[in-house]
Chains A and B, each alone.
Chain A
Amino acid sequence: MSKVIQVLEQMSRDANGQNEDAINNLLAAAQLDTEITTAIINKDVITLERQLNVRSDIVCMILPAEDDEDDEDDDSTEITNYHVIGF
């Protein structure tokens, strides 16, 4: 895993991860590029995305208002009971 992702993970996972001193120590130890370090300190997501060269045109919608799923073999009304009674 790349250092910058490790740093972001650590910031999220550690209860002190949002503490300014803890962030500075983490960044100093990681020795990331100056631009990336500055972007993290400034909470500048756009610059960080650019520096990491990640996809910027992300779509985050996974639910249609109306579900017209291809139902050629749709038998979704059939309910399967998975409960098993043990004796």
Chain B
Amino acid sequence: MSGSLVCVGTGMTLGAHICPIASSYITQADVVFSLMSTGITERWVEEMHEDVRSLQPYYQEGKNRNITYNEMVNAILAEVRIGKKVTAVFYGHPGVFACVSHRAIDKAKKENFTAHMEAGISAEDCLYADLSIDPGKTGCINYEASQFMFYQRNIDPAAHLVLWQVGLAGDKSLGKFSTGKAYRQILVDLLLKTYPADHKVILYQAKVLPIDTMRAEYIALADLIDAELFMHTTLVIPPSEKMRPNQAILDKLAELDKQELKSSYRPKLTLVL
């Protein structure tokens, strides 16, 4: 029997978001691996199948998370290699801001195993609904908070900026579970180059349990330094400026429109044979 891998997501809220195909892959697997965001949702998945193995024990404070993630991938692949039908379950969307699923699928495919991913409802999806943001209205750009700090990125103040894992912004070691005020100060200083200090930003946390309350806390950007941040807190920065027209492109398009209009006034010629 040849092993296989499918990565599925449970969505964010226990029981509310999981799709039928994800449930089916969980119940029909030989082995299930889980990486959930709370102990209760982890228990929920454990109760769907008799052999559910949590990937949580691989995490360790002080240990580089890239090592942790590769260990998780190896645990998953070991079962695929011995011919098991493996389902890896992740909270939210299995492939959005989640590297383990992508790494595991890539590796399985390279070893000629069948592997694929099923979409799930991500934290980003919940964010749009909970905060009434339409990313199509002015645009929306997402970054992992530390990566946003480490590299030169262009900020568009006319679009939404969403920074994920802001609670550990600036952690170069990849071994911390949170970073302190000094790290956040650097992030705020970086953002202050584009946004005013009193610009209202949102601290967002999606609802995971039906008894949870969604967090949408509006604070001034400068107050981010002292704000209460958790691993699952996301920073949402609404636009601070209006979109500015790109006049050069608009002029070119107007010229095209004019030419098309002119050609439509010409008499229509019919080829007579």
Contacts and interface: CB of A to CB of B under 8 A. Distances in A.
Interface of A: 1-2, 5, 8-13, 17-18, 40, 43-45, 48-49, 52, 54-70, 73, 75-76
A32 to B, nearest CB: 13
Given A43-B211, A63-B97, A64-B99, A8 B44 contact: yes
Contacts of B97: 62-63
A48 B147 CA distance: 35
A13 B144 CA distance: 31
A54 B110 contact: no
A9 B40 contact: no
Contacts of B13: 12
B177 A59 contact: yes
B43 to A, nearest CB: 5
B47 A2 contact: yes
Interface of B: 13-16, 35-40, 42-44, 47-48, 54, 56, 59, 65-66, 69-70, 90-91, 97-101, 103, 106, 110, 144-147, 150, 164-165, 168, 171-172, 174, 177, 209-213, 231-232
Contact of B211 (A11, A52, A60, A61): A11
Nearest to B148: A65
A11 B208 CA distance: 12
A43 B214 CA distance: 12
A10 to B, nearest CB: 8
Nearest to A10: B15
Given A13-B16, A62-B100, 8 more contacts: A8-B15, A8-B209, A45-B40, A57-B56, A60-B232, A65-B145, A73-B110, A75-B110
B127 to A, nearest CB: 15
Given A12-B16, A13-B16, A63-B164, A69 B42 contact: no
